[in-house]
A and B are shown apart, each in its own frame.
Chain A
Amino acid sequence: MSNEHRFDDGEQREWEAQEHARGSTSDDALTRRYRKVARSLEAMPLPSLRADFAARVARRAEAAQNALAPFERFAVMTLVVAFVAAIVVAAVAMNVPLGDFVREVREANGTRWVVALMLCVAITCFPLSRLRERAG
Chain B
Amino acid sequence: MSADRELVEAVLARRAGAFERLVREYQGLVAHIVYRIVRHADTVDELSQETFLRVHRRLDQFRHDSSLKAWIGRVAYTIALRHVEKQGASITIADDAERFEREAADEDVESTRSEQEAAAMVRQAVGALPPLQRTIVSLYHLEELSIPEIGEITGLPAGTIKSHLFRTRRQLREMLEARLGGDA
A residues contacting B by CB (< 8 A) are 2-5, 7, 11, 14-15, 18, 22, 33-34, 36-50, 53-58, 60-62, 64-65, 132-133, 136
Contact = CB atoms under 8 A, between A and B. Distances in A.
Contacts of B62: none
A84 to B, nearest CB: 33
B45 A40 contact: no
Contact of A42 (B27, B141, B163): B141
B78 interface: no
Interface of B: 14, 17, 19-21, 23-24, 27-28, 31-32, 34-35, 41, 44-45, 48-49, 52-54, 56-57, 100-101, 104-105, 108, 111, 115, 118-119, 121-123, 126, 137-138, 141-142, 157, 159-160, 162-166, 169-170, 172-173, 176-177, 184
A41 B138 contact: yes
Contacts of B27: 49, 53-54
B52 A37 contact: no
6 contacts: A37-B172, A39-B115, A39-B118, A54-B24, A65-B56, A136-B57
Nearest to B138: A44
Contacts of B141: 22, 38, 41-42, 44
Nearest to A30: B173
A64 B53 contact: yes
Nearest to A5: B163
B142 A46 contact: yes
Given A36-B184, A61-B53, 4 more contacts: A39-B119, A44-B101, A64-B53, A65-B56
Nearest to A64: B53
Contacts of A7: 166
Name the residue in A42, A47, A54, A133 with the highest tally of chain B Cβ atoms < 10 Å from its Cβ: A47
A58 B169 CA distance: 39
A43 B48 contact: no
Given A3-B160, A39-B119, A136-B56, A46 B32 contact: yes
